[in-house]
Structure 1
């Protein structure tokens, strides 16, 4: 059976962009080659070259902008955990495509002045994962049931410039940037499980600066909140619930965006392998601590530059790509992007904080078996043959999202369904999941995933996929959503 929605990123690139060769904005706005602009560095660049480099810079910077913007929206003190103690529901709009399987324990670390000690409690064999993401969204370390077990453990997380001795009992983990996002997840099975078990475990996670830890203080007092001079005003739109993070970032004017990026580059310099590329971007004013100004370019070039965000997001959306069908380039993978800046930007846009493939595989459903967009005015069924459930060694789920990729309200407050539900199997051992707006009836309600009366999408999450599936996805092919004969 043909795998559904396995659109390759390569196909998208052939039709629109190869980052290493330049985003082809200039193709939409032809400019005679004899026209030049003269930025502050006094290099002579054509308008096409300026637009190409700034298009690349916009894409290159999206991950660090998304990461810090999310931090600013949360307005959490540095080096302090914020635990999600509410069972995820349709009001959970902090991140795009929130899952209904795990609760988040999030913290933003500032490692510029001191290393930080992370203490993880014994989770009583409960599945959890605590990935550490650098400012550019690479997962440089991951602790949890799959990698380090579920017993209590402690780590010393140090920044790129930290020098010191590691106290006995701590395992050092070196971060490539001062800004680190700790985005832990712990399996949650129900609202009662949340209250009686998960929240109690979460509250035992702790962070403290090393200087505090050596004094015997296990938990730090709140640390200052870092505010950058050029923090976009759109942060307040999200805090006031006037926009989502994605909408707000789309609305940042290009000059503000690049000055924000230049601020972020001071504490979070480009990673190893980026040197040659960042040198090119410096030609158009993208440099740590630099002041980017549109007035460095003539009025015609300014007009084109202002349209870069609209063009980038239009192409991302028009390609139909999602987190679930992005195929990384250049030997990279989700969570380990190397110099694959385009994939890195797409994942930040479509699913910031995504786990690595070894921890979770995402498969998206946006169309049915006949390639028609999913519509809540119809009824659908997903049929799993006997012995062909998703190849997970932990657990799996199907989560339904609205057109904006958030959980959707429904009568039974069920936002996901999977192997932890009391599913009813068919006499032959197969399984049917009913995806529709109306209740399918008492006999089928256990297997019902409620849908809204508008367009929607479904994501299949396979936590800790089997080794055979990771090696070759063709060993198991996800079944499609089949439209029923509606009354």
Structure 2
């Protein structure tokens, strides 16, 4: 982990760079070390700027809400058309509320659920993860009403509101508030009840909640909503084309703690480049950065982070430390989780161990594989688990006619008579493998990524449990 004294040396170089700019002298290019530090410290903000805005504003995202302060209850499991985020989920149903508290507090009405697993995650641009409600803590047995605001929300400072059980101050003005609901897909009546509950989630302004909304006041159109933000896209596009514009917007809508070392380090790096909280972005007043070089640095950085998923020692050491609240994360792990799969939960809610091959080589669609677990080797889950297949490079589902991307209680699985399971990744389903346990692939040279999700894990048992290995099968 880098220390603040190390940051000081980099900041000194950046200050010199900014001073030269102010004197209208040719700007010195950022050094490789400065670019690497910028990418490390800003990747979470770039990634979550893209993720949150894609969920709110991108109509190509099947889970988009159609704007801020709207809700999308996605009552069907996702398929390969889900390309808004890397390594999406195909074993729970989602409710996504995209919340904007720049004008007034927002109130979320949450019903009860008949499910053994429901969690509620709130994440702003800083990519710290908060779980205000969870079935593991006994929540969701009765309806709840929550209010959201930030330190910049006008006219509200956290005072009690009649009818609101919980008021949550968010670390940013634009947040994703995401429910994961185990649908109980094998129980039709329970599934239908949970779908109905999902559709009952309602988001409204505080004035609407209190019956004081102005008559005739209408929400912004999607195009009006989009116009308020710099253009979103891929993370690499942001680093290459509009990095400082996005970062100026981000810092203007994020709460920074003067006593937090990570916050101070980030702001110290951005200030010499002309980006500070409260400023307006002016392309003529900020430093000139070689976008192509910064993008290349980000691409190398992301590749290095993805490679860590194949390092058993890194996984064993760090997997339970991801997706934590502010004050519990290192910059390295914040950046890692932003690259590897930006929408995740802390270990008490779920852990995400990757499945490696027996021979240590990458999984590749030129071959078939099997994953075998006996009853004693099954994942230590208090609710349920799944195994999901992605392409390694982009982290998306493998397209197939069966629309089968994961094996688990909700996407389908079949245990053997002894309580174990055999999962096969293959271009053709072997005759002795149930269709529920088959993950189809197209035979070609494509590196694959196999991830397990263990919901409400028994963390004590997890310490001594090892994920299964994928064994390459003989050529068919």
Q: Above 0.5 in TM-score?
A: yes
Residue pairs, 1:220-231, within 5 angstroms: 223-224=219-220, 226-227=225-226, 231=230
Q: Is the CA contact 2:151–2:169 (under 8 Å) kept in the aligned structure 1?
A: yes
Residue pairs, 1:459-474, within 5 angstroms: 459-469=451-461, 473-474=462-463
- Residue number in structure 1 paired with 2:448: 456
- Residue number in structure 1 paired with 2:62: none
Find 2:160's aligned residue among 161, 166, 177. Answer: 166
Unaligned runs of 5+ in 2: 58-65
Find 2:197's aligned residue among 198, 201, 220. Answer: 201
Residues in 1 aligned to 2:364 and 2:381: alpha-carbon distance in whole angstroms: 28
Per the TM alignment, residue 249 of structure 1 is displaced from its structure 2 partner at its CA by 2.6
Residues in 2 aligned to 1:216 and 1:297: alpha-carbon distance in whole angstroms: 46
Residue pairs, 1:285-304, within 5 angstroms: 285-288=274-277, 289-291=279-281, 293=283, 302-303=289-290
Residue pairs, 1:62-73, within 5 angstroms: 62-73=43-54
Q: Is the CA contact 1:379–1:486 (under 8 Å) kept in the aligned structure 2?
A: yes
Q: For residues 159 and 328 of structure 1, do their structure 2 counterparts lie closer, same or farther at Cα, with a shift above 3 Å needed?
A: farther
Q: Is the CA contact 2:380–2:458 (under 8 Å) kept in the aligned structure 1?
A: yes
Q: Is the CA contact 1:19–1:342 (under 8 Å) kept in the aligned structure 2?
A: no
Q: For residues 24 and 280 of structure 1, do their structure 2 counterparts lie closer, same or farther at Cα, with a shift above 3 Å needed?
A: closer
Residues in 1 aligned to 2:26 and 2:325: alpha-carbon distance in whole angstroms: 33
- Residue number in structure 1 paired with 2:170: 175
Q: TM-score, normalised by structure 1?
A: 0.78
Unaligned runs of 5+ in 1: 1-12, 26-31, 236-244
- Residue number in structure 2 paired with 1:146: 136
Q: Is the CA contact 1:85–1:103 (under 8 Å) kept in the aligned structure 2?
A: yes
Residues in 2 aligned to 1:321 and 1:24: alpha-carbon distance in whole angstroms: 28
Q: TM-score, normalised by structure 2?
A: 0.80
Residues in 2 aligned to 1:410 and 1:20: alpha-carbon distance in whole angstroms: 52
Q: Is the CA contact 1:78–1:109 (under 8 Å) kept in the aligned structure 2?
A: yes
Per the TM alignment, residue 456 of structure 1 is displaced from its structure 2 partner at its CA by 1.5
Equivalenced residues, count = 441
Q: For residues 323 and 18 of structure 1, do their structure 2 counterparts lie closer, same or farther at Cα, with a shift above 3 Å needed?
A: farther
Residues in 2 aligned to 1:270 and 1:260: alpha-carbon distance in whole angstroms: 17
Q: For residues 145 and 423 of structure 1, do their structure 2 counterparts lie closer, same or farther at Cα, with a shift above 3 Å needed?
A: same
Find 1:91's aligned residue among 81, 85, 94. Answer: 81
Per the TM alignment, residue 268 of structure 1 is displaced from its structure 2 partner at its CA by 1.7
Per the TM alignment, residue 165 of structure 1 is displaced from its structure 2 partner at its CA by 2.9
Residue pairs, 1:72-471, within 5 angstroms: 72-73=53-54, 74-75=56-57, 76-151=66-141, 152-161=143-152, 162-163=156-157, 165-170=159-164, 171-190=166-185, 196-215=192-211, 223-224=219-220, 226-227=225-226, 231-232=230-231, 235=232, 245=233, 248-252=234-238, 254=240, 256-272=242-258, 273=260, 274-275=263-264, 277-288=266-277, 289-291=279-281, 293=283, 302-303=289-290, 306-319=292-305, 320-322=307-309, 333-336=322-325, 338=327, 340-365=330-355, 367-403=356-392, 404-420=394-410, 421-425=412-416, 429-442=419-432, 444-453=434-443, 454-469=446-461
- Bigger Cα displacement from structure 2, 91-100 vs 445-454: 445-454
Partner SS for 1:21: helix
- Bigger Cα displacement from structure 2, 283-292 vs 40-49: 40-49
Per the TM alignment, residue 348 of structure 1 is displaced from its structure 2 partner at its CA by 1.8
Residues in 2 aligned to 1:353 and 1:23: alpha-carbon distance in whole angstroms: 32
Per the TM alignment, residue 444 of structure 1 is displaced from its structure 2 partner at its CA by 4.1
Q: For residues 480 and 285 of structure 1, do their structure 2 counterparts lie closer, same or farther at Cα, with a shift above 3 Å needed?
A: same
Partner SS for 1:468: helix
Per the TM alignment, residue 81 of structure 1 is displaced from its structure 2 partner at its CA by 0.6
Q: For residues 347 and 20 of structure 1, do their structure 2 counterparts lie closer, same or farther at Cα, with a shift above 3 Å needed?
A: farther
Q: For residues 276 and 412 of structure 1, do their structure 2 counterparts lie closer, same or farther at Cα, with a shift above 3 Å needed?
A: closer
Partner SS for 1:165: coil
Residues in 2 aligned to 1:228 and 1:87: alpha-carbon distance in whole angstroms: 31
Residues in 1 aligned to 2:126 and 2:135: alpha-carbon distance in whole angstroms: 25
Residues in 1 aligned to 2:272 and 2:133: alpha-carbon distance in whole angstroms: 40
Q: Is the CA contact 1:323–1:346 (under 8 Å) kept in the aligned structure 2?
A: no
Q: Is the CA contact 1:19–1:56 (under 8 Å) kept in the aligned structure 2?
A: no
Per the TM alignment, residue 401 of structure 1 is displaced from its structure 2 partner at its CA by 1.1
Per the TM alignment, residue 169 of structure 1 is displaced from its structure 2 partner at its CA by 3.5
